[in-house]
Amino acid sequence: MSDRALEQDESLLIRAARDFSRAELLERDRKWDRLDGSVTEILPKLAEMGMFNLMTPEDIGGLGCSYRTYSAILQEIAYASPSTAVTISVHNMVGLVVDRFADPSLRRTWLEHWGDSKNFGAFAISEANAGSDPGASLTKANRDGDNFVLSGEKMWITNGLTARWFVTLARTSPGEGKAGLSLLMVDGDSKGIDRTPIHGKMGIRGSETAVIAFDDVVVPASHLLGDEGAGLSASLTALDGGRIGIAAQAAGIARSCLDEMISYAHEREQFGTKIAGFPAIQKMIADSHVELAAATELIDYAAWSKDSGRGDWAASSKAKLYATEAANRIAYRAVQLHGGMGYVNECRVEQLFRDARITTIYEGTSEIQRVVIARELLKSS
Ligand SMILES: Cc1cc2nc3c(=O)[nH]c(=O)nc-3n(C[C@H](O)[C@H](O)[C@H](O)COP(=O)(O)OP(=O)(O)OC[C@H]3O[C@@H](n4cnc5c(N)ncnc54)[C@H](O)[C@@H]3O)c2cc1C
């Protein structure tokens, strides 16, 4: 993305993320993909780089990044490791929920240490029967004096095996539909929490994904995030910001694919000439470049919209929809351009093609983004 309007220190941060990601993440990400390993092996290193404190306000010790800087950093991280990008994105999104919705005294307690890898966060909304429709969540939190008692099962939880904190959507008032849902900050060290890894993912294999079972877990009532009964709207607010993170992840993957395409086009010869000379290859590269440029502009606009308080709700959805679908088209072309080499894991584009696939699914599928965008358009005309 263009960083012309960013402050100098923000540009330095983006450059540091670029250098770090290319030097420290690229090879590790390849290993995690092959061995089903996990980015959690380098959590302390990521914390040291400030990656867990990107969005935490400066007066509580965070880096206080704008969304524009944040999304640029995530693009740099995703370029080398899409798994690391989503890991960082989810943790920072959870921090933003705490910042906005936590009880003031707990907010400070939690955020003061948010940059520490021991306070790793996860966002637990989805359930087996509640994905695109989180309002159908069945996990319940019954009031018992000064506590809630939480029971139920969350599915697909990124960072779920190692997280200390789970921002969890639960039903606090049965029979009240969506208005009966609340958000709770659940301490992963509490009794009654069981974590089961989900193996066999198509891509982002370095990112943890888990089923989290809560069995009568005691959660202090003060851990309510926002008002009781307002959990669904708080979750959707968080996801609106999170979508910028996933769009950035997709753009990072797309840029990586494009660089691989250009490099291979210069290297590979057929019919006695470099394939870069073939118009069909040039079209793949040119189309990919333009789609990536459009994606980064949409991401930058969505980020600016948030930073400026303009609050264009559909901007994040537009950025996510376009960037993630473009990343999949670009990854498809990257495999095609590499021919048979693109089909084997030795070649990085094979992994990028698989990594790109999740981006149109999590934090709201493409179909759900279209619902959000169309709803806005139909409302205003
Ligand atoms: C690797 C991974 C990591 C994840 N991380 C997290 C996480 O950290 N926290 C978390 O809470 N969840 C997480 N998720 C869950 C993810 O957000 C959901 O998978 C996603 O929202 C889709 O829900 P679903 O899988 O139940 O699909 P469904 O909702 O069952 O959708 C099935 C199909 O129906 C379509 N559809 C559904 N409703 C509509 C509609 N109204 N209009 C048109 N089409 C529709 C969908 O687009 C999709 O094509 C993760 C998932 C994966 C795979």
Q: Which fold has domain 8-119?
A: Butyryl-Coa Dehydrogenase, subunit A; domain 1 (1.10.540)
Walk along the chain (381 residues) and give the pLDDT tens digit of each residue: 444 466 778 889 999 999 999 999 999 999 999 986 899 999 999 999 999 999 999 999 999 999 999 999 999 999 999 999 999 999 999 999 999 999 999 999 999 999 999 999 999 999 999 999 999 999 999 999 999 999 999 999 999 999 999 999 999 998 888 999 999 999 999 999 999 999 999 999 999 999 999 999 999 999 999 999 999 999 999 999 899 999 999 999 999 999 999 999 999 999 999 999 999 999 999 999 999 999 999 999 999 999 998 878 799 999 999 999 999 999 999 999 999 999 999 999 999 999 999 999 999 999 999 999 999 889 865
What is the fold, at CATH topology level, of the domain defined by 233-380? Butyryl-CoA Dehydrogenase, subunit A; domain 3 (1.20.140)
Does 176 qualify as catalytic in the annotation?
A: no
pLDDT of residue 4: 46
Distance 135 CA to ligand 1 centre (A): 13
Mutate which of 33, 126, 166, 243 for ligand 1? The one with the most ligand atoms within 8 Å of its CB, which is 126
Q: What is the pLDDT of residue 118?
A: 95
Look at strands 165-171 and 121-124 and give their pairing: parallel
Domain boundaries, the chain: 8-119, 121-231, 233-380
d(CA 177, CA 181): 8
79 within ligand 1 shell (Cβ under 6 A): no
Give the residue, by CA position, lying nearest to ligand 1 atom 48: 365
Q: Whose CA is nearest to atom 37 of ligand 1?
A: 132
131 lines ligand 1 (CB under 6 A): yes
Verify whether ligand 1 is closer than 6 Å to residue 362 (CB atom).
Answer: yes
110 lines ligand 1 (CB under 6 A): no
- State the SS3 of the chain: CCCCCCCHHHHHHHHHHHHHHHHHHHHHHHHHHHHCCCHHHHHHHHHHCCCCCCCCCHHHCCCCCCHHHHHHHHHHHHHHCHHHHHHHHHHHHHHHHHHHHCCHHHHHHHHHCCCCHHHCEEEECCECCECCCHHHCCCEEEEECCEEEEEEEEEEEECCCCCCEEEEEEECCCCCHHHHEEEEEEECCCCCEEEEECCCCCCCCCCCEEEEEEEEEEEEHHHEECCCCCHHHHHHHHHHHHHHHHHHHHHHHHHHHHHHHHHHHHHCEECCEEHHHCHHHHHHHHHHHHHHHHHHHHHHHHHHHHHCCCCCHHHHHHHHHHHHHHHHHHHHHHHHHCHHHHHCCCCHHHHHHHHHHHHHCCCCCHHHHHHHHHHHHHHHC
User: In testing the pocket of ligand 1, which one of 129, 156, 321, 354 has its CB within 8 Å of the most ligand atoms?
Assistant: 156
Shortest-distance Cα residue to atom 38 of ligand 1: 132
Smallest CA separation from ligand 1 atom 13, residue: 156
Residue 94 near residue 107, CB atoms below 8 Å: no
Nearest CA to 222 out of 109, 121, 112, 114 is that of: 109
The sign of the torsion formed by the CA atoms of 58, 60, 61, 63 equals negative
- Number of residues that make up the chain: 381
pLDDT digits (tens, 9 = 90+) for 299-343: 999 999 999 988 787 999 999 999 999 999 999 999 999 999 999
- What separation in Å is there between the alpha carbon of 48 and the centre of ligand 1? 33
- Spatial separation of the C-alpha atoms in residues 310 and 205, rounded to whole Å: 36
Q: Which two tokens stand for residue 254?
A: 């797309």
Instruction: Write down the pLDDT at residue 379.
Output: 86
Whether 90 is in the pocket of ligand 1, judged by its Cβ within 6 Å, is yes
CB 148 within 8 A of CB 192: no
- Tell me, using a 6 A CB cutoff, whether residue 126 lines ligand 1: yes
Query: What pTM, to 2 d.p., does this model score?
Result: 0.97
Neighbours of 211 (CB within 10 A): 17
The CATH class that applies to domain 121-231 reads: mainly beta
